[in-house]
């Protein structure tokens, strides 16, 4: 059996794991990273990147279809578009491959040793990796668990045949005529919206009484209107029961307790994600858990000295940029640098149509924390850039303490607002006040102008509404 010793072992080469390994290598730490599948993890290979690629394909197709139908308000017409989904998937796969190669190159540049195989803990300092050439034993002074998450499978609706996960949806080579989406969270709505634009008849089945349950009604309202305009049927308070007897649809229980069958060529199940820990040998460790997730402290440390956990395996929010920030921090901690983890500045984005971005506290969250508030909201209907390009639906909202005017949270909904997330996150990270935001000159004409206008609204002197 091959034996390897190192100072830092990273298990999992997703966004958190590979960033941790690269930063550790930059700091001169002898680092090994283990990955059982492809470098880049779910985000790069079957999640964030490929889904945004297919969302872009759907947006472009919709624009072309509207032009062919003479529905553009500015007089653009075009021939009826045709989509080769196989070519679109190949284009998406090409982007993923380039990014895979880029991650491998960055790891090599940082002098990180890459081991391909399935890792299993023998004890708190030793991991055995099953590789194609046989088992390798790795002993490390510090170990980072970065194994990520996977789609939750329903026992009565297992993946296979016409029941697919988000991974399967992104590999389809034909647009299903009828798509039923189980779960009205961000993954289901992102993909459901994309397929609706490509011509599928989409039905969303959500057990709760609203879509995107983590966001307030003001933010989700424009998305509900857009889904209706796209012909997407949204069934709230509805429960999936299982496939129809012939396997050609989904049986559900509606909000009024009646059973109904929904015809479907594909059933996309997006009811959440679970940590990937099976077979990792966690039973050989003494870790504190939060349900199925690994409990961590402010430095991503676990209950065992020298073992850290980052990313989705530690629970919500399951965001690639959270994992990256944690990975960078842990590498610096292992190098002896003083670091701690603060999640307040993490932006959460729904790449729906329109998009949602949220950083910090929502108004309801701030009220529950007993803050007296000043809230300012500026509509994109009064923003020149939105009117001429992005669409007028949506707004920017700023939530601040009444006395100090410290900004506690920022939210926006609208086309293209994901690109405002950097400004929002920076404002929270730097401890900005309403006056700081209002006094920062924003270029005209841009969507970003809505940001200081919202702050001025909270101060009582918005200029353009």
Q: Catalogue the active-site residues.
A: 444
CA distances from 423 to 84, 409, 447 (A): 37, 12, 12
Coil vs helix vs strand at 148: coil
Residue with tokens 């803990």: 121
**Which tokens in the block code for residue 100?**
């895979």
C-alpha–C-alpha distance, residues 462 and 438, integer Å: 9
Both tokens of 292, joined, read: 């199925």
To which residue do tokens 């479907």 refer? 264
Q: Quick one: tokens of 304?
A: 């065992």
d(CA 280, CA 124): 12
DSSP 8-state symbol, 246: T
β-pairing verdict for 201-206 and 233-236: parallel
Find the distance separating the first CA and the last CA of the chain, reported in whole Å.
71
CA distances from 290 to 17, 293, 295 (A): 21, 5, 6
Other CB atoms within 10 A of residue 389 CB: 11
Count of beta carbons in the 10 Å neighbourhood of residue 137: 14
| Tokens matching residue 180 | 């039923």
Q: Who contacts 343 (Cβ-Cβ below 8 Å, separation ≥6)?
A: 317, 322
What is the C-alpha radius of gyration for the chain, rounded to an integer number of angstroms? 24
DSSP letter at 84 equals -
């Amino acid at each position: 059996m091959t034996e390897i010793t190192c100072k830092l072992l990273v298990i999992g080469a997703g966004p958190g794991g590979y960033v941790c390994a690269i930063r550790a290598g930059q700091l001169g730490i002898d680092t090994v990273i283990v990955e059982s599948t492809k470098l880049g993890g779910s985000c790069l290979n079957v999640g964030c990147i490929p889904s945004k690629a297919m969302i872009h394909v759907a947006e472009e197709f919709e624009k072309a279809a509207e032009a062919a139908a003479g529905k553009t308000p500015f007089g653009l017409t075009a021939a009826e578009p045709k989509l080769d989904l196989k070519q679109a998937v190949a284009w998406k796969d090409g982007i993923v491959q380039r990014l895979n190669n880029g991650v491998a190159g960055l790891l090599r540049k940082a002098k990180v040793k890459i081991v391909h195989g399935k890792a299993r803990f023998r004890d708190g300092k030793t991991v055995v990796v099953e590789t194609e050439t046989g088992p390798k034993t790795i002993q490390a002074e510090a170990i980072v668990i970065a194994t990520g998450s996977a789609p939750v499978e329903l026992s009565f609706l297992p993946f296979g045949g016409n029941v697919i996960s988000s991974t399967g949806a992104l590999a389809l080579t034909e647009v299903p005529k009828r798509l039923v989406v189980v779960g009205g969270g961000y993954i289901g709505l992102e993909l459901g919206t994309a397929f609706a634009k490509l011509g599928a008849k989409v039905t969303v089945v959500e057990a709760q009484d609203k879509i995107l349950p983590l966001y307030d009604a003001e933010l989700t309202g424009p998305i509900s209107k857009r889904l209706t305009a796209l012909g997407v049927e949204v069934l709230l308070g509805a429960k999936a029961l299982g496939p129809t007897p012939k396997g050609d649809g989904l049986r559900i229980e509606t909000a009024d307790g009646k059973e109904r069958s929904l015809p479907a060529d594909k059933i996309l199940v997006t009811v959440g994600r679970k940590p990937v820990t099976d077979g990792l040998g966690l039973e050989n460790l003494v870790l504190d858990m939060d349900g199925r997730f690994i409990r961590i402290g402010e430095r991503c440390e676990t209950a065992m000295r020298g073992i850290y956990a980052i990313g989705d395996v530690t629970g919500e929010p399951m965001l690639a940029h959270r994992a990256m920030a944690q990975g960078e921090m842990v590498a610096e901690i292992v190098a002896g640098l003083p670091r701690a983890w603060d999640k307040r500045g993490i932006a959460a984005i729904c790449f729906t149509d329109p998009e949602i971005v949220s950083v910090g506290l929502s108004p309801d969250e701030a009220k529950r924390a007993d803050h007296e508030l000043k809230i300012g909201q500026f509509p994109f209907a009064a923003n020149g850039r939105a009117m001429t390009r992005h669409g007028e639906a949506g707004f920017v909202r700023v939530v601040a303490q009444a006395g100090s005017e410290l900004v506690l949270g920022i939210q926006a909904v609208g086309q293209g607002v994901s690109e405002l997330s950097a400004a929002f996150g920076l404002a929270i990270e730097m401890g900005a006040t309403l006056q700081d935001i209002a006094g920062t000159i924003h270029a005209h004409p841009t969507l970003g102008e809505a940001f200081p206008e919202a702050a001025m609204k909270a101060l009582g002197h918005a200029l353009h509404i």
